Amino acid sequence: MFKTRLISGIVLVVIALLTIGMGGWVLFGTLLVISLIGADELLKAMKVHDGKINPLCLAGFGGVLLYYLGIGVSKAGLIEKTEIAAGLPMMMVILTLVIIMFVYVFNYPKYHANQIMAAFFAVIYVGVMLSYIYQARMLEGGKFHVWLIFLSSWGADTCAYCVGMLFGKHKMAPVLSPKKSVEGAIGGVAGAALLGFLFQLATIGPSYEYAVICGIGALISMVGDLAASAIKRNMEIKDYGKLIPGHGGILDRFDSVIFTAPIIYYLSVFLI
């Protein structure tokens, strides 16, 4: 299992290096595909479908596509009026809600209200949140800023695991995730901050902004990790999928990244 997990992890890092390094439409398309797969995993976990695509699922997938269309058009500068371009992504979110409710009322009582909320949640939780990887890459200096998302999620997770294994005694969330410790969490935050400092030292120069951003991002990433675990426990599933050998599905590997990406984007905008 460890060998399989390691190989899969290396492949993921290589894909991340290539797509994020290239940026632009390559990263945009990659994230769109990842978001659609992740949305499908969540819709299945939330009992919106059982492997057979239905109109509600299509509305959810359509919402992800619409949001990415809004982001793409906005970032490409295809609309002259900046007010319309800036508001286009949110307009697509609202349109998605209208479409989902359309499916709900005109198929009543085929779908339960919980399924409707799950379909809309999938668009926001997966599609909108993951899109901030692309949006962070498109910032001025984004070729550096975007990597803070992964340093403060995957990097923090690795540091937390190592410190927790060595020194972990106090359980952080004993019911939800018995193996996670307070000591590991502290190690994860400190490790992410150190990684951020070293990364800024190597790329831009000695300063503190990346360390602060990665430290805050690491705290948020833990919430994302635990939130994904809570959903799995509520729905009584072990993994969201089997796409990534040794890791599970897209949501199993990107659970912390989902929460970290928008936080890193806004911290980068405000602090750098």
Give pLDDT tens digits for 159-215.
998 998 888 888 888 888 888 899 999 999 999 999 999 999 999 888 899 999 999
Model pLDDT, residue 80: 66
Residue 1: the pLDDT is 58
Alpha-helix residue ranges (DSSP H) falling in 50-155 = 55-76, 82-106, 113-122, 129-137, 142-145, 147-150
98-107 tens-digit pLDDT: 999 999 999 9
Buried b (16+ CB within 10 A) or exposed e, 115-129: bbebbbbbbebbbbb
Report yes or no: 256 and 225 within 8 Å, Cβ to Cβ. yes
Give the pLDDT confidence of 209-245 residue by residue, as tens digits: 999 999 999 999 999 999 999 999 999 998 998 888 8
pLDDT above 90 (res 131) = yes
115, amino acid identity: Q
pLDDT (tens digit per residue) in 39-96: 999 999 999 988 888 999 999 999 999 999 999 998 877 776 677 778 899 999 999 9
The tokens for 9 are 């992890």
Helix (H, G, I), strand (E, B) or coil at 244: strand
For 179, the 3-state DSSP assignment is: strand
Residue whose tokens read 């007010």:
83
Rounded Cα distance between 121 and 174, Å, is 27
* Cα gap 40→56, rounded to integer Å: 11
- Whether the CB-CB separation of 100 and 119 falls below 8 Å is answered with yes
H/E segment holding residue 249: none
User: Distance between terminal CA atoms of the chain?
Assistant: 41
pLDDT of residue 144: 94
Instruction: Give pTM, 2 decimals.
Output: 0.93
Give me the phi and psi of 4, to 5 degrees please.
-60, -45
**pLDDT at residue 137 is higher than 70:** yes
What is the average pLDDT across 139-144? 92
What was the pLDDT predicted at 255?
A: 92
> Rg (Cα) of the chain, in Å, rounded?
19
From the list 187, 196, 188, the residue with the least C-alpha distance to 214 is 196
